[in-house]
Amino acid sequence: MDERKPYNTDLSEPEWAVIKPLIAAWKAQHPSVSGHQGRYEMREIVNALRYQNRTGCQWELLPHDFPPTGAVRYYFDVWKRDGLDARINDVLRMMVREKAGRTADPSLVVLDSQSVRAAAGVPKSTTGLDAAKKTPGRRRGLAVDVIGLIIAVVVVAASVHDNAIGTALLNKVVASTGTVRTALVDQGFKNSVVDHGRTLGIDVQIVERNPARTGFVPEPIRWRVEQTNGLNMLERRLARDFEHAPSSSESRIYWASAGRILRRLAGTPARWREA
């Protein structure tokens, strides 16, 4: 097949040079029973996922010059189940932190949740109503470091309380890094999260707003998680929750995060902003 014309979301050569060893290692650990090496380039599979994240298109509307939809969807599901998406994000996060002169793993994280509407067709059994914000859909919980890099993601029904989200995030933080000692949360998180953090060796601090301040006033350090939520919403696949399974929503966030980190590492501009 002739080489296709590039899309703005395609991996640049420096970006692919960073991520290629991670995917090659996964391929080596998961050889085909028949010994077949695969018909499609892994770079093109990732390009298709990046295109879909940015444009928000449905599976069957992926452009025909990408690998077939079935192949792209197969790798998305397999990488999600194997946790490759989260591992890629972790490795890239460590690389960019070290490049910035920081330790590979953080000692402090910031937790927050965001309610988003679910698209038509998303199973009712996986959604709910955020009564406070009157938002039907799902809630995304994030744990980020002080420069806004994602450490952990949790996606649940919007009716789930911040306490459950905070507890799940802390468990994931501990599973991915053993260095975190402090977590900052807003007033939506209650003492049960503080107590759970104590059992994990993490000091959870509830940051209260100054009642004398009116309007939107960014809280020191905590604003980083708000910024990360905002950056995620620039990916049209994340503007609403289109995924049937919450685990797929989590995977989309990891891929969005990995894309931003790759640009930092490779020094490439966000070309899709021009679209």
* CB-based contact 101:126 (threshold 8 Å): no
Instruction: Please provide the DSSP assignment of 74-138 as one string.
Output: HHHHHHHHHTHHHHHHHHHHHHHHHHTTS-SS-SEEEEEEEEEEBPTTS-GGG-EEETTTTEEEE
pLDDT, one tens digit per residue, over 151-175 is: 999 999 999 999 999 999 999 999 9
- The CA angle 55-56-59, to the nearest 5 degrees, is 110
- Tell me, what's the pLDDT at 274? 45
- Tell me, what's the pLDDT at 216? 62
What CA–CA distance (Å, rounded) separates 237 from 50?
10
Domain 103-239 has CATH 3.30.420.10: yes
- Residue 159 CB contacts under 8 Å (≥ 6 apart), including other chains: 128, 129, 130, 131
DSSP H helices, the chain, are 13-29, 42-55, 69-82, 84-99, 162-176, 191-199, 223-232, 246-266
Below-70 pLDDT ranges, the chain: 1-2, 33-38, 210-218, 270-275
Q: CA distances (Å), 221 to each of 38, 242, 260, in order?
A: 45, 30, 20
Query: Phi and psi (nearest 5°) for 36?
Result: -70, 135
- Tell me, what's the pLDDT at 85? 97
- Tell me, what's the pLDDT at 61? 97
Roughly what angle, to the nearest 10 degrees, separates helices 246-266 and 69-82?
Answer: 90
Domain ranges in the chain? 103-239
pLDDT, one tens digit per residue, over 209-261 is: 766 666 666 677 899 999 999 999 999 999 999 999 999 999 999 999 999 99
